[in-house]
Homo-oligomer: A and B are copies of this chain.
Amino acid sequence: MKRNDGRLTNQLRPIKITYNVFEYAAGSVLFEIGKTKVLCAVNMQNSVPPFLKGKKTGWLSAEYAMLPASTHIRSERELNACKRNGRSQEISRLIGRSLRSIIDFDLLGERTIVIDCDVLQADGGTRTACITGAFIALKVAVNQWVKEGVIANSILKEEIAAVSIGIKNNSLLLDLDFAEDSSIDADFNIVMTKSGNIVEIQGSTEKKSFSGLQLQQLLDIAQKSIDEIFALIDNQKIFKPKAPFNPIRISSSTL
């Protein structure tokens, strides 16, 4: 199967990571994969939601939103509709759930980590880009908090990244762009740990049901691509302290 941009079916788009784009956040990155660009920022609040008050444990919440100019046709601000749309809420919940799975909240104590993912440009795969970007920003923030003594040790139990995969005419296509996504038969988002386990899998179709066998093949592709993403993240030797005016940019195309 030939892809629009000449990629192989199991090839990721070029990835770029720009660290510390928000000077006032504890950790932040601009995560780009192909033309998709997402801003991920991590902050801490000294409080927890009501259902956790007094329980000596913490929480993490995430919010996903798209800038109006991020889409091919300008999208209306959700605010003007006086409600967050269902898609945004669903993605916010997915990002929060995935990142909560790797945090030791007892070590965090009664504090809340807040993650903001704002899409600068949407060309497919924004939700998986946000999860990977948010993880990287969280890792920066945790390093920063340890350095500042806000927490004694890292609260991360695992590392995660995410990819999207589609099925089209029974072929599996890794990392769909917007044009591909619009004509796909079935659509998957997979969040995996660095060690190869699954944290979240979502597969759905409104066109053509798929088999258990296809699901198995798909997991193999996902795993290999997750490994590639971690190779890229880890290639950067050390997490530098916040240096907002000299952002460190690493890119899969320059490696």
Contacts and interface: CB of A to CB of B under 8 A. Distances in A.
A89 interface: yes
Most buried by B among A35, A79, A120: A79
Contact of A198 (B67, B69, B80, B210): B210
A116 interface: yes
A210 B212 CA distance: 16
A23 B122 CA distance: 10
B204 A200 contact: yes
B84 A79 contact: yes
A21 B70 CA distance: 10
B78 A25 contact: no
B22 A69 contact: yes
B69 A41 contact: yes
B201 A202 contact: yes
Contacts of A92: 86
A77 interface: yes
B199 A68 contact: no
B211 A69 contact: no
A118 B67 contact: yes
B68 A116 contact: yes
A100 interface: yes
Q: How many copies does the complex hold?
A: 6
Interface string A80-98: 1011101101101100011
A247 interface: no
Contacts of A199: 204-205, 209
A197 B74 CA distance: 33
A35 B21 CA distance: 11
B79 A205 contact: no
A63 B200 CA distance: 24
B72 A68 contact: no
A83 to B, nearest CB: 5
A30 to B, nearest CB: 10
A129 interface: no
Contact of A209 (B79, B89, B197): B197
A107 interface: no
16 contacts: A21-B120, A23-B121, A24-B70, A24-B121, A39-B69, A39-B120, A41-B68, A41-B69, A79-B79, A80-B84, A89-B89, A97-B206, A198-B212, A199-B205, A201-B204, A202-B202
